[in-house]
Amino acid sequence: MTADLAELLEINRLRLVARVVSNASHDVNNALQVIGGSAEMLSTRSTLGPTEQHRVNAIARQTERITTILDRLTSLTRPGAGGRQMVDLAQLADDAVALRAFALGRARIAVTVERVAGTTCAVSAERLRLLQVYLNLLLNVEVALENKPGASVRISFERSASDWVVSFIDNGPGLSDAGRASLADGAPIPPLGPGLSGLGLWLSARIAEQHGGKLEAGDGAAGTTITLRVRAAAQP
């Protein structure tokens, strides 16, 4: 099988997966609406005891939680969801972390999203492309820090004169000199370690460039710091 054919088959497979996930999510959402509506009706009954009321409220909360997760998931597969729009980089971080919450928890990695109080980190961007960057960086963290004692990643936001700077700061083994150099000059990134091909980081850098920004590696002695620069949206 040629490399081109293998790539086309993989693209076709992912498109089919996207369609199946989208359709299945709609079906599950319909069922959740019935469950949520029934829980809401039950919660108004005065005959419920404290234990029953607690359980009904728990059903309502979990139904709402699953609905939110499905909405975030289907946003990755929704046709026609591309194109530039106003994106809040901090909200996007919340969405990315929520999509990887189970895996991050299983890997025992603590995640902190440090929002800028009272500020919207607004940029004009293709939301799904930037979400792809966030997910690639989180996946790298998951593999590099899995079950490491005290593993953590911190996502912070800082406004420069013209850009928003998003920093992913972890306490992992750090990026090699070769990886740092490749990221800086746009060359293919060598494997970062077991299970880390470097492809996700390279693609994330290209997405940043498509948005007039840049993906950079910090030079900290310990851990890894990856910064994403995106031009801030003009103030109204």
Q: Which of 50, 74, 98 is the last residue of a domain?
A: 74
Top mean pLDDT of 55-64, 178-187, 206-215 is at: 206-215
Q: Which of 42, 74, 106 is the last residue of a domain?
A: 74
Dihedral of alpha carbons 224, 138, 142, 193, sign = negative
CATH number at residue 129: 3.30.565.10
- Cα 167 to Cα 20, 90, 158, 188: the distances in Å are 34, 11, 8, 22
Average pLDDT (188-209) is 79
Q: Which residues of 48-69 are buried (b: 16+ CB within 10 A; e: fewer)?
A: eeeeeeeebeebbeebeebbee
% of the chain at pLDDT higher than 70: 81
Q: Are residues 95 and 199 in the same domain?
A: yes
Q: Are residues 129 and 40 in the same domain?
A: no
Q: What is the pTM of this model?
A: 0.75
Top mean pLDDT of 2-11, 111-120, 191-200 is at: 111-120
Matching residue, tokens 């150099």: 181
Average pLDDT (67-81) is 67
170/155 Cα distance (integer angstroms) = 9
Domain that holds residue 129: 84-231
- Provide the number of structural domains found in the chain: 2
127 pLDDT exceeds 80?
yes
11 pLDDT exceeds 70?
no
Q: Is residue 79 part of a domain?
A: no
Q: Which of 30, 48, 74 is the last residue of a domain?
A: 74
Average pLDDT (12-40) is 74
